[in-house]
Amino acid sequence: MKLALPITSRGCLALIGLTLLVGGCGSGSGATGPISTESGPVRGSRTGAVEEYLGIPYAAAPVGELRWLPPEPHGPWQGVLDAFDFGSECTQPGSSPGVIVGSEDCLFLNVYRPRRRPQAPLPVMVWIHGGALTILSGAFDVPPALLEGDDVIVVSINYRLGVLGFFAHPSLDAEGHLNANYGLMDQQMALRWVRRNIAAFGGDPDRITIFGTSAGALSVYSQLASPIAAGLFDRAIAQSGSYEGLVSYETSIVSISEAQAAGVAFANQLGCSTAACLRALPADRLVAAEPSNTYPILDGAVLTQTPGAAFASGQFNRMPVIAGTSHDDYRFVVAIDYDFGPGPLTPAEYPGAVARMLALPPEDPFVSTVLEQYPLSHYDGSAPIALGAAGTDRVFACPALSADESLAQWVPTYAYEFNDEHAPSFFDRPVSFPLGAYHSSETLYLLNTHLLNAEQLELSRAWIRYWTTFAATGDPNAPGSPVWPLFGAAQEMQSMKPPAPVTESGFATDHMCSFWLP
């Protein structure tokens, strides 16, 4: 069954970018460094208790003949690089229709480290940004809250997006190089840079954790499944990335032959049939014509099987994993597709909305089955809340449970659910229904905490301690923190709910996973 994911709506994720992960300039109060890297020395800036090294190129610009090639080393630069400002975001649709922003010269990373550091090297957390694999960047508007304990270094990265990052075409793929998943290869190149260079910043190259939310977490799952990512990182955290490739009814991660067929149709639309023609097209024109949905591709090398298949078979990069979702993930999608679109979802529109969520015609019998499972009467007649429940269970929660069950057979797995029903909204406009613990809202507790109240800040501190302790040891448990058990037969998960996390075991029942999972 083809799953059409509204979560890849460009407008919705652009709203996240406006609030949480916008690009900007370093606001340093003084230069720091220089620090030696393989390409030359870099000088950063100080922001409060944090040192920032922004816009460091980790690979050559993938422009001209390097478009749709695996990333290549950057090579040396002359003199000292002033790493005071973010590098360009990768070419992507802007927040207004028809506007394209960014540049193909975008393979930059940012290093954030505490000014006060112990003598021992610090564990490193590498943030892979979300944005449906089509928008956003690794730029933070403020230093990430994870640094508040002075016990980790955080690195954020850019990677190629959309058709420039995930694209297959027979003329390109016949060139004899790794193909299709250029964005995943960029992430791997950045991780190699971190392995080789982070010691100079005070980081431990043997304790690298990758983490991300939404498409960033899908990237985490994909890197766990990628044979050529072996040895590049040591722990993994996936936050609401279970929307593709973890259950059999999600089939948007396609084979190379299917991706090539779609690539030929795309190229024909632009009047191209050869690699030379495609590389000669302006990036803006390519991005303007790209499909709204972008997914990794089963190319046979970078990805040989879906993450779900890899986890079930044990054929993945084995290491400790934290994985989780938000209790009301899909309400985010409902807000974007209805409140911020044609208008609030009405009870009369609910059956059609369920059919669209399932990517099925309204007359399909399974639509009626889902409507019986999620009747409006169970949700006080609220169509947005009912659709949010059905979408969360199908798209996020139950696929995540399937992944947890598979991973736990092979590696230490810690599962969580974010459960703050009063999570603050990062949208710049009101919503007609309670958002609850909506998709990506957990980033407010880990990266940018300025919207949180006192109880939420208490949860944030506990949550950050889990994340940084896991980065240090591979186990989130630390003295003084609520005990977080391994995921196992009892299916215990840590419920992240103010003021303090607690362990719960009713996730599968709450999300009706016996209905969704075979």
Measured CA to CA, the distance from residue 356 to residue 354 in angstroms comes to 5
Say whether the peptide bond before residue 34 is cis (omega within 30 degrees of 0).
yes
Residue 509's Cβ-side half-sphere holds a number of Cα atoms within 13 Å equal to 6
34 C-beta neighbours (distance < 10 Å), count:
18
pLDDT reported for residue 100: 97
Query: Using the 8-state DSSP alphabet, how is residue 198 labeled?
Result: G
Residue 292 has a pLDDT of 87
pLDDT tens track, the chain, 518 positions? 233 333 333 333 333 333 343 333 344 458 888 999 999 999 999 989 999 999 999 999 999 999 999 999 999 999 999 999 999 999 999 988 889 999 999 999 999 999 987 789 999 999 999 999 999 999 999 999 999 999 999 999 999 999 999 999 999 999 999 999 999 999 999 999 999 999 999 999 999 999 999 999 999 999 999 999 999 999 999 999 999 999 999 999 999 999 999 999 999 999 999 999 999 999 999 999 999 889 999 999 999 999 999 999 999 999 999 999 999 999 999 999 999 999 999 999 999 999 999 999 999 999 999 999 999 999 999 999 999 999 999 999 999 999 999 999 999 999 999 999 999 999 999 999 999 999 999 999 999 999 999 999 999 999 999 999 999 999 999 999 999 999 999 999 999 999 999 999 999 999 999 999 97
Q: In b/e form, how buried is each residue of 114-153, taking b as 16+ CB within 10 angstroms?
A: beebeeebbbbbbbbbbbbbbbbbbbbeebbbbbbeebbb
Which candidate, 385, 304, 292, 316, places its Cα nearest to that of 345?
Answer: 385
Domain 6-221+232-300 has CATH 3.40.50.1820: yes
Task: Please check whether residue 242 is in contact with residue 403, taking contact to mean a CB–CB distance below 8 angstroms.
Answer: yes
Contact (Cβ atoms closer than 8 angstroms) between residue 279 and residue 194? no
Q: How far apart are CA 455 and CA 462, in angstroms?
A: 11
**Which residues are within 8 A (CB) of 98 and not within 5 positions of it... i.e. 6 or more apart?**
288
Q: Give the alpha-carbon dihedral of 459, 460, 466, 470, to 10 degrees.
A: 160
Alpha helices in 474-512, H assignment, sequence order: 507-510
Q: What is the pLDDT of residues 299-341, one digit of tens each?
A: 999 999 999 999 999 999 999 999 999 999 999 999 999 999 9
Domains 6-221+232-300 and 325-516 fall in the same CATH topology: yes
Cα→Cα distances 455→270, 347, 479, Å: 54, 35, 21
Instruction: Give residues with Cβ within 8 angstroms of 504, minimum separation 6.
Output: 417, 492, 493, 494, 495
Confidence at residue 367, expressed as pLDDT on a 0 to 100 scale:
98
For 101, the 3-state DSSP assignment is strand
Cα–Cα nearest to 328, from 427, 244, 435, 401: 435
CATH homologous superfamily of 325-516 = Alpha/Beta hydrolase fold, catalytic domain (3.40.50.1820)
Tokens standing for 214? Answer: 């939404």
Residue with tokens 């209905």: 515
Give the pLDDT confidence score for residue 36 in this predicted structure.
97
Domain boundaries defined on the chain: 6-221+232-300, 325-516
**For the segment 287-308, what is each residue's pLDDT rounded down to a tens digit?**
999 998 899 999 999 999 999 9
pLDDT at 117: 79
Q: What pTM value is reported for the model?
A: 0.94
- Is the separation of the CB atoms in 127 and 155 below 8 Å? yes
Cβ contact 208:470 at 8 Å: no
